[in-house]
C-alpha cells in the first residue's frame, strides 16, 4: 500500500513541460438571488415547458398536411 501511495505522490509532483495551466479567475460566483432548490426546480420546469410549447407551435395540426416531397410510394411497395 505504501508503494501505491508513493507512486501517486510522485505522479502529482511531476511538472508539466508547458508550465502551469492558466485557469483564469478562481473567485466564486455569488448568486444575485438566493432561493431554495424547490423554487429553482419549479422555475426550471416552467422555462422548459415554455420551450416545449414554443416548439410544438411549429408542428402541424393534421399530419396529412405534411409535404411528402421525395417520398416514393412505389419504392416502399417494392421493398416488401
pLDDT digits 0-9 by tens, 56-73: 887 777 666 556 566 656
Please report, for residues 5, 22, 35, 67, 79, the alpha-carbon distance to residue 28 in angstroms, rounded to integers and kept in the order given. 32, 16, 18, 52, 61
* DSSP state, residue 12: H
Q: Whole-structure pTM over 0.85, yes or no?
A: no
Report the SS3 class of residue 18.
Answer: coil
Question: If you average pLDDT over residues 40-54, what whole number do you get?
Answer: 92
Amino acid at each position: 500500500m505504501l508503494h501505491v501511495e508513493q507512486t501517486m505522490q510522485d505522479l502529482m509532483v511531476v511538472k508539466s513541460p508547458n508550465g502551469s495551466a492558466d485557469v483564469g479567475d478562481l473567485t466564486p460566483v455569488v448568486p444575485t438571488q438566493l432561493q431554495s432548490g424547490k423554487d429553482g426546480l419549479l422555475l426550471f420546469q416552467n422555462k422548459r415547458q415554455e420551450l416545449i410549447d414554443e416548439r410544438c407551435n411549429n408542428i402541424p395540426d393534421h399530419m396529412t398536411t405534411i409535404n411528402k416531397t421525395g417520398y416514393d410510394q412505389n419504392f416502399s411497395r417494392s421493398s416488401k
